[in-house]
Amino acid sequence: MCFRVFQKAAIVLVAGALLVIALLAWPLPEAPQDGISGSFLIRDVSIVDVESGLVTSLQSVLVVDGKIASISATGSIDLDGATRVVDGTGKFLIPSLWDMHTHSTKLAPVHQHPLLIANGITGVRDLWGCMNKPDPFFACIEDRQAWNEATANQAGLSPRYVGQSSFQINGGSEVPKGFPDYFKARNPLEARQLVAFFADAGADILKVYSEISPAAYFALADEARARGLSLEGHRPLKVSLADVLAADQRSVEHARLFLFECYRGADEFRALNDPLGAYTPVLRARLVDEHDSERCRLLMQQFAESNTWWTPTLLTLRMGAMAGDSSFRTDPRLKYIPDLFLQLMWEPDADRARDSGSDASGRNVNAEMYRLAQQHVGQAHAAGANLLAGTDVFDTYIFPGFSVHEELVELVAAGLSPIDALRTATINAATFSGVEDEFGSIEEGKAADMLLLNADPTRDIRSTQKIEGLFFNGQYYERSALDRLLEYAEQQAGSWRTNLHILWAAVRSPLLRVQLAD
């Protein structure tokens, strides 16, 4: 009898394993690609010039082969019979938007790209990557290049990936066993070896993180400069902002930048053996209470005079401030997030932020930091700092695509005008990426990557969310086509088969295992 029970159990286990293998081998459905190809005339539209800030009404924009062929007053363009006319009456045309801080997984075509495109995000800077082996979970240089090629050939649908990033360089804690020691960048020698590897691998960007040592960081900066690579990412906790600017770091990420730098005890904090370990609610309260306004003003002026850009990603600080808010935690857009991410990553992370957000007196220091960081963004912009819109996609409660529009709202709340906020996700992004001659504004000869809106975003920045259609890569996506992308993303997020693919990729990823354990 026992043998028969064991035999039946073994059969069930084998059958289950075979089913799982079959499901993993069965490709997931592809996102719909319902763009209309051809030439287009957008008639009677108001054009938002993101560079001048002017809005010009009653314009006709002719799009041929994915390029803006001409812009003129309505009625002055002769058409052939093949040109499709799009009625722009009462509508506004802006450049499509970019997200300048994302993190893509191997399965981005299923759960990220559809949401980005549906929200009019056609350019991204992806700030992570792989090491010297392909990774089952993280998008590598080769993945992003393949997506770019497929999009260019209209064989796939993804935003354009601008720049190719290394994996985060953090001083060793991020490196799993079995990888060469130089990936740890614990000293100048390893840092220089690491730069050589990524230069040969085709990277353009070295993503620096918080815990790399000053000596390794400066060696990384010197070698990157010599090899033509760009240093982008966090300000290392033990390196001052002045030294980061002197090292020509191209961009600094996240809104905590001036919270730390304008703190009266900043020098002592940097000198700690483990600054990250000291990041407690007590310290966060001190960042607010011991904020030095004059020190901040001088640092912002120095920042504005440098070649470094700032991507505040205000939404990441907002998550910590709002983690205890039930309405925030029940966002209806959660339906677009794969169940696995939501249950195993987002909810536990938001719980930790909620539980550690207050000091012993019950004071919500996370909320106070968030409000102070908003002030910093407005002050830095007023000082002349160059800003980029980025969201930190893949982070907790950051919704691919949707969150770019939210970040623009955050920037306006911080003190930017709507047109200045628009610039951070259009012409600023293109200029930073060195492609401003082709992207970022609506001009004759440039790529016709444009959003058709139902309201004027220069009056209300929330109007960027009122999308009527998207022109991208030689195709026009009507509202119904964008809605089908959202429907697909929702279906995949709730699909147990898609979540099984994500789980299988995650458990096989040594990079993700180390990151989750950190």
HEC secondary structure over 448-480: CCEEEECCCCCCCHHHHHCEEEEEECCEEEEHH
DSSP assignment of 69-81: EEEEETT-----T
Q: Is beta strand 475-478 parallel, antiparallel or unpaired with respect to 467-472?
A: antiparallel
Among left, alpha and beta (phi > 0; psi -120 to 50; other), residue 447 is beta
What does the pLDDT read at residue 14? 47
> Beta-carbon neighbour count of residue 327 at 10 Å?
7
- Write the single-letter amino acid at 304: A
The structure's pTM equals 0.94
**Rounded Cα distance, 32 and 40, in Å:** 21
- What's the CA dihedral at 189, 233, 124, 148 to 10 degrees? 0
**Rounded Cα distance, 193 and 205, in Å:** 15
Q: What would you measure as the largest C-alpha separation in the chain, in angstroms?
A: 89
Element (H, E) at 427: helix 427-432
pLDDT < 50 regions, the chain:
3, 5-19
In DSSP terms, 205 is beta-bridged to: 165, 230
What does the pLDDT read at residue 21? 55
Name the H helices within 290-346: 293-304, 314-322, 326-329, 339-341
**Rounded Cα distance, 234 and 221, in Å:** 13
What does the pLDDT read at residue 2? 56
Contact 482, 443 (CB under 8 A): no
Contact 508, 137 (CB under 8 A): yes
Element (H, E) at 100: strand 97-102
Contact 151, 474 (CB under 8 A): no
Contact 276, 173 (CB under 8 A): no
**Rounded Cα distance, 40 and 443, in Å:** 15
Residue 232 CB contacts under 8 Å (≥ 6 apart), including other chains: 127, 165, 205, 206, 207, 208, 249, 250, 251, 253
SS3 447: strand
- Write the single-letter amino acid at 427: I
The 8-class DSSP code of residue 204 comes to: S
**Rounded Cα distance, 292 and 297, in Å:** 9
What does the pLDDT read at residue 516? 67
Q: Where along the chain do its domains lie?
A: 36-95+443-486
Q: Tell which CATH architecture fits domain 36-95+443-486.
A: Roll (2.30)
Q: Is beta strand 467-472 parallel, antiparallel or unpaired with respect to 450-453?
A: antiparallel
**Rounded Cα distance, 233 and 444, in Å:** 34
**Rounded Cα distance, 6 and 191, in Å:** 55
